[in-house]
Amino acid sequence: MALSVKPLSDVLGAEVSGVDLSESVDEGAFSEILDAFHQYQLLRFPKQTLTPEQHIAFSRRFGDLEIHVCEQYLLPGHPEILLLSNELKQDGTRVSIADGGSGWHSDLSYMERPSLGSLLYAVQTPEKGGDTEWANMYAAYETLPDETKKRIEGLKAIHQFDQRSNPRLPPPDLRYRDAHSDELRALTPDVQHPIVRTHPVTGRKVLFVSLRFTIGIADMDDKEGAALLDELLAHQENPELIYHHQWKMGDLMMWDNRCTNHRACGEVVQLPDVRRLHRATVLGDVPY
Ligand code: SIN
């Protein structure tokens, strides 16, 4: 069956059918997928049945995989997979992180080398709720007022992993997420990245800030920096930049973290049904 690529929305995303990712994807089909990934920023591969090994094998075609710094959230036996699940163990403790991303973010932007892309596979989805949405960060940059574009050219923003010192978010709920240890904080020092980055493949400019991980603007007065960041973050939430996705079991969603932000919608930890997703995360380059 030939591969088919159909847009998911006017803003970003495409559905790719005619490919079974549990089998080895030939070079021709892989090159079409890569082109679609660069064109649409987000791909949906519906109706997949993937073992962790198959998920990892397909993800590795895009680059080296990140082993997440929070070891306790990795899928046992498969450290390349981050397990996102609201399930409980028999002793009442959580099997993994239930809410990995309800604030807008680009995966691993708090690292020197943020992620190139993520491949999130729906193993079990709730009847209702637990949707995910993505924002087109090329369009976020392009629709900024010219004056703001001039103002942010050449500036860097500070990205931080530990939510406790993010002034825009409440402290993390430690019933659902572990506190960051001193050791983890030492592994993830704050980093600075350009507010306007250039996509290394398409050459297009991207607004590279997010509510979850960006906490300030480097070399700018705190008050002035906070006001500018507030303006950029509010702009990113414009519904015209966003695609909203209701998961179906077997969906593999793959997105480009270099030009999209995403978030889990609503109270994913409170859902009555199981929501279990497996994420493989491809390492990227230092943004410029
Ligand atoms: C993520 O941020 O990678 C996961 C998003 C989600 O749980 O919907």
Q: How far is the CA of 90 from the centre of ligand 1 (A)?
A: 25
Q: Of 44, 68, 105, 159, which is the active-site residue?
A: 105
Ligand 1 atom 1 nearest Cα: 101
- State pLDDT tens for residues 9-21: 999 999 999 999 9
Is 109 a member of any domain? yes
Does residue 288 sit within a domain? no
227 falls in which pLDDT band (50, 70, 90)?
very high
Q: Residue 12: which CATH number?
A: 3.60.130.10
Full domain range(s) for residue 36? 4-283
60 is catalytic: no
Torsion of CA 145, 101, 165, 154, to 10 degrees: -30
> Would you say residue 150 lies in a domain?
yes
196, 191, 194: which is closest to 140 by C-alpha? 196
Ligand 1 environment, Cβ below 6 A: 84, 100-101, 107, 118, 120, 132, 262, 264, 277, 279
Tens of pLDDT, residue by residue over 229-282, are 999 999 999 999 999 999 999 999 999 999 999 999 988 888 999 999 999 999
276 is a domain residue: yes
Overall pTM surpassing 0.85 (yes/no): yes
Question: Is 29 contained in some domain?
Answer: yes
Question: What is the pLDDT confidence band of residue 1, given thresholds at 50, 70 and 90?
Answer: low
| Residue 196 domain-assigned (yes or no) | yes
Q: Based on the structure, what is the number of domains in the chain?
A: 1
Residue of 107, 132, 268 to mutate, ligand 1, most atoms within 8 A of C-beta: 132
Phi and psi torsions of 242, nearest 5°: -115, 140
